[in-house]
């Protein structure tokens, strides 16, 4: 029987996904009808971006699962009309992109690249940075993205500490968990990378108390979510020098409003939620595999725990 798949995302994404997703579904041996429009009562699966027009799932009476195109699911986990399983995106391309972005921004701060490249004022600034082995890095969030970044930074020589909700053992990485583990992880964090999801429990993870734990002049890199940081506390910590620089890719309101003080703060780098994108070819293979699993009554990959919010 033909499987009806609704692609519920913005039109620009439909044009990039239609061909690779059709190919991946064909390669997975699925008899499918993939469209950007369907009568709701005919839909078996929704490939979903949380900013799509579909916000009420009630009319989708034969829906079997929602397959999110993004890693972050905070805009859908609380949707009470969604009663079928929700899978999030874990994509090799997304992971690779995040690791490259995190490594790049970590090295920028570690090496002091701004001072050496941009100092076109005739001053011969020869500040020798320490080697990576002497620059402790902490990553909050040791999931799909955090672990990949941790391994890459560790391979570059950084002593990496990672913090997560549950205990973990990861070769070469110092791991911690729980509230006490957070404070210990922050104490050594000369560079701090945030890769936690946006859930009620992670709101304002960086606040006046936690920022004060960090070494003076530490750098914060946030490709996770804007809600992880108390903006006013960060601005105060930047003004006092407690935090030396913040590179921020995600914000409570996006695009970041023109009036927001982050734009003009000399110790803040704003990037436009560009750290990493789901890549159509690799992501399509994950979606096709989940449709195949759904049709074979096998457990779906990357299911979201709606109660935990990620
Ligand atoms: P993930 O695999 O779900 O990993 C989340 C990690 O956070 C896990 O290690 C989890 O701990 C930990 N965590 C969750 N709640 C916690 C809590 N209350 N206390 C301590 N640790 C907690 O997610 P992912 O795929 O790595 O993605 C992480 C986030 O990156 C996404 O949610 C999204 O917000 C963001 N993102 C941003 C971009 C961008 O372009 N800026 C792109 C993609 C993703 P456990 O391991 O113990 O469960």
Q: What is the DSSP string of 43-82?
A: -SEEEE-TTSS----TT-TT--EEEESSS--TTTTT-TT-
SS3 at position 113:
helix
SS3 at position 115:
helix
Sign of CA dihedral 230, 231, 235, 236: negative
Residues with CB under 6 A from ligand 1: 71-72, 94, 98, 141-146, 164-166, 195-199, 201-202, 223-225, 249-250, 273, 275-276, 310
44: nearest Cα among 308, 256, 292, 310? 292
> Is position 177 annotated as part of the catalytic site?
no
Question: Which residues lie closer than 8 Å to 102 by C-beta, 6 or more apart?
Answer: 149, 152, 153, 193, 195, 221, 223, 275
Q: Please, are residues 30 and 295 in contact by the beta-carbon 8 Å criterion?
A: yes
Say what the pTM is: 0.97
pLDDT tens for the chain, 310 residues: list them.
999 999 999 999 999 999 999 999 999 999 999 999 999 999 999 999 988 999 999 999 999 999 999 999 999 999 999 999 999 999 999 999 999 999 999 999 999 998 887 656 788 888 899 999 999 999 999 999 999 999 999 999 999 999 999 999 999 999 999 999 999 999 999 999 999 999 999 999 999 999 999 999 999 999 999 999 999 999 999 999 999 999 999 999 999 999 999 999 999 999 999 999 999 999 999 999 999 999 999 999 999 999 999 9
Q: What is the DSSP string of 214-236?
A: SPTTEEEEE-S-GGGB-HHHHHH
pLDDT at 126: 83
* Ligand 1 centroid – CA 1 distance (Å): 37
* Ligand 1 centroid – CA 249 distance (Å): 15
The label of the residue with tokens 């899978």 reads 87
pLDDT at 127: 85
pLDDT at 97: 98
Catalytic residue among 13, 109, 176, 225: 225
- CA angle, 255 as apex, 225 and 152 as ends, to 5°? 40
β-strands 268-270, 3-8: how paired?
unpaired
Separation of CA 36 from chain center:
26
* Ligand 1 centroid – CA 227 distance (Å): 13
Cβ atoms within 10 Å, residue 130: 10
* Ligand 1 centroid – CA 149 distance (Å): 12
| Measured distance CA(242)–CA(218) in Å, rounded | 7
Q: Please, are residues 171 and 195 in contact by the beta-carbon 8 Å criterion?
A: no
β-strands 243-248, 268-270: how paired?
parallel
The CATH number of domain 3-91+278-295, selected from 2.120.10.30, 3.40.1390.10, 2.40.30.40, 3.40.50.720: 3.40.50.720
> Is position 302 annotated as part of the catalytic site?
no
For 270, the enclosing helix (H) or strand (E) is strand 268-270
Q: Which of 163, 165, 254, 283 to mutate to test the pocket of ligand 1 (most atoms within 8 A of CB)?
A: 165
CA-proximal residue: ligand 1, atom 4 (nearest): 143
The label of the residue with tokens 């979510």 reads 225
pLDDT at 145: 98
pLDDT at 121: 78
CA-proximal residue: ligand 1, atom 7 (nearest): 141
**Domain 93-270 class?**
alpha beta
pLDDT at 119: 57
Q: Which of 49, 71, 182, 305 to mutate to test the pocket of ligand 1 (most atoms within 8 A of CB)?
A: 71
| Measured distance CA(296)–CA(102) in Å, rounded | 38
Catalytic residue among 177, 265, 273, 302: 273
Alpha helices in the chain, H assignment, sequence order: 11-27, 92-111, 113-118, 144-156, 178-187, 208-213, 231-240, 261-264, 280-295
pLDDT at 275: 98
Q: Please, are residues 102 and 153 in contact by the beta-carbon 8 Å criterion?
A: yes
Sign of CA dihedral 131, 134, 140, 142: positive
* Ligand 1 centroid – CA 79 distance (Å): 20
Domain map (residue ranges) of the chain: 3-91+278-295, 93-270
């Amino acid at each position: 029987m033909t499987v009806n798949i609704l692609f519920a995302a913005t039109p620009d994404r439909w044009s990039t996904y239609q061909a690779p997703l059709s190919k991946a579904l064909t390669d997975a041996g699925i008899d499918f009808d993939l469209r950007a429009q369907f009568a709701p009562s005919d839909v078996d699966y929704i490939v979903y971006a949380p900013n799509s027009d579909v916000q009420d799932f009630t009319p989708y009476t034969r829906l079997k699962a929602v397959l999110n195109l993004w890693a972050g699911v905070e805009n859908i986990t609380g949707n009470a009309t969604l009663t079928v399983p929700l899978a999030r995106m874990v994509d090799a391309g997304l992971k690779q992109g995040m690791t490259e972005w995190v490594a790049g921004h970590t090295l920028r701060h570690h090496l002091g690249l701004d001072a050496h490249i941009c100092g076109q004022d005739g001053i011969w600034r020869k500040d020798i940075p320490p080697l990576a082995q002497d620059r402790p890095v902490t990553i909050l969030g040791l999931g799909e993205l955090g672990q990949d970044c941790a391994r890459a930074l560790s391979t570059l020589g950084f002593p990496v500490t990672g913090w997560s909700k549950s205990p973990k053992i990861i070769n070469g990485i110092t791991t911690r968990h729980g509230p006490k583990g957070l404070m210990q992880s922050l104490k050594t964090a000369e560079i701090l990378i945030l890769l936690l999801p946006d859930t009620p429990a992670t709101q304002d993870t960086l606040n006046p108390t936690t920022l004060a734990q960090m070494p003076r002049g530490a750098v914060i890199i946030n490709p996770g979510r804007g809600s992880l940081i108390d903006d006013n506390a960060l601005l105060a910590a930047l003004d006092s020098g407690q935090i030396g620089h913040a590179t921020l890719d995600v914000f409570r309101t996006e695009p970041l409003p023109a009036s927001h003080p982050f734009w003009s703060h000399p110790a803040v780098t704003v990037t436009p939620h560009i750290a990493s994108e789901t890549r159509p070819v690799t992501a399509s293979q994950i979606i096709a595999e989940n449709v195949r699993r759904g049709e074979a009554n096998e457990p779906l990959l990357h299911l979201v725990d709606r109660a935990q919010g990620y």
